[in-house]
Amino acid sequence: MRSSFTSAAAIADRLRTDINTGRWVDGSCLRQDELASIYGVSRIPIREALNLLREDGLVVIEPNRGAYVAKLMPAEVEEIFDLRILLEADTLRRAVSKHSRRTLLRVEAIQEQLELEDSKAAWIDGDRAFHDALYAPCDRPQTLELIGKLRTRIERYGLSMLRPGSRRKGWAKEHRQLLDAVIAGDQEAAIQALTVHLMETRDIVCSALLQI
C-alpha cells in the first residue's frame, strides 16, 4: 500500500543506503515513477528526497533530463580528503581534552561492534558512528555538519572496495591506534593516526574510482 506520509528525509536515507550499497551506480538515472513504486510512496516525497540528496552531492538534477547518481572525479576526491583532514583534525584536537570516561567507553563499544559487523550497510553506519562519537565533544556543530556532508559524498566508493571483511584488521588497527591516542590525551598522536587513516581511505576511494 502506498503511503503519502513517509517523510522525504526517510526516503532520502533509504536512497542513500541503496546508492552506497551499489543498487544504483554512478550515472544511473533515478526515475521518480520507478522510485515511487520501489519505496511505496507518491512522487512528492521522492522529488523532495532527490533534492535532499542533491544538497549532499549524491545526486545531480538536470532540467529536461532528470536525476542521476553523481560521479566524482579523482581531483574532487583529493580535494574532499584534503578538506576532511583539515576539518577532522581540528575537531579531534578540540575533542581530546573534553572526552570523559563515559564518552570514551561509548567510542570503544562502537568500535567493538564495528569489528563484528558483516553487513555492508551496518558496517558503514558503524564506521560513521565511531568518528561521530570521537569528534562529538568538540562543540563545533557546523564543522561536524560539513564533515558529514563531505563523508556522504565518498562513502559509496569506499564501501564498494572495503567490505566488512576485506580490510577488517587494518581498519581496526587504525581505529584502535586513534582511540588509544585519544584515551592517552595525546593530541598530536591522535591527529597523526587520524591523518594516516584518512589517507588510507582516500587511496581506497581512488582505487574504486578507477574500477568504475
Q: Cα 139 from chain centroid?
A: 20
> In angstroms, rounded to a whole number, what is the distance separating the alpha carbons of residues 128 and 125?
5
Cell numbers standing for residue 8: 522525504
> In angstroms, rounded to a whole number, what is the distance separating the alpha carbons of residues 100 and 89?
19
Please check whether the domain covering 74-210 is classified as CATH 1.20.120.530: yes
pLDDT for 23 equals 87
pLDDT for 1 equals 37
The residue assigned the cell 578540540 is 94
> In angstroms, rounded to a whole number, what is the distance separating the alpha carbons of residues 9 and 53?
9
- Count H helices and E strands in the chain, helices first: 9, 3
Count CB-CB contacts under 10 A for residue 75: 8
Cell numbers standing for residue 98: 573534553
Check if 8-69 and 74-210 are the same fold. no
pLDDT for 3 equals 42
Residues 130/180, Cβ–Cβ less than 8 Å: no
Running along the chain, 212 residues long, what does each successive block of 10 average in pLDDT?
A: 63 89 87 93 93 90 90 90 97 97 97 86 87 97 94 75 59 93 97 95 80 66
Pick the CATH number of 8-69 from 1.10.645.10, 1.10.10.10, 3.40.50.1220, 3.40.50.2300: 1.10.10.10
Query: What pTM, to 2 d.p., does this model score?
Result: 0.80
Residues 136/41, Cβ–Cβ less than 8 Å: no
pLDDT for 63 equals 87
pLDDT for 201 equals 86
Count CB-CB contacts under 10 A for residue 37: 12
Q: Cα 117 from chain centroid?
A: 16
Cell numbers standing for residue 6: 513517509
Q: Is 70 helix (H, G, I), strand (E, B) or coil?
A: coil
Q: What is the DSSP letter of 41?
A: B
Query: What are the φ and ψ backbone dihedral angles of 67, each rounded to 5 degrees?
Result: -105, 145
Domain spans of the chain, in order of start: 8-69, 74-210
> In angstroms, rounded to a whole number, what is the distance separating the alpha carbons of residues 173 and 167?
10
pLDDT for 212 equals 63
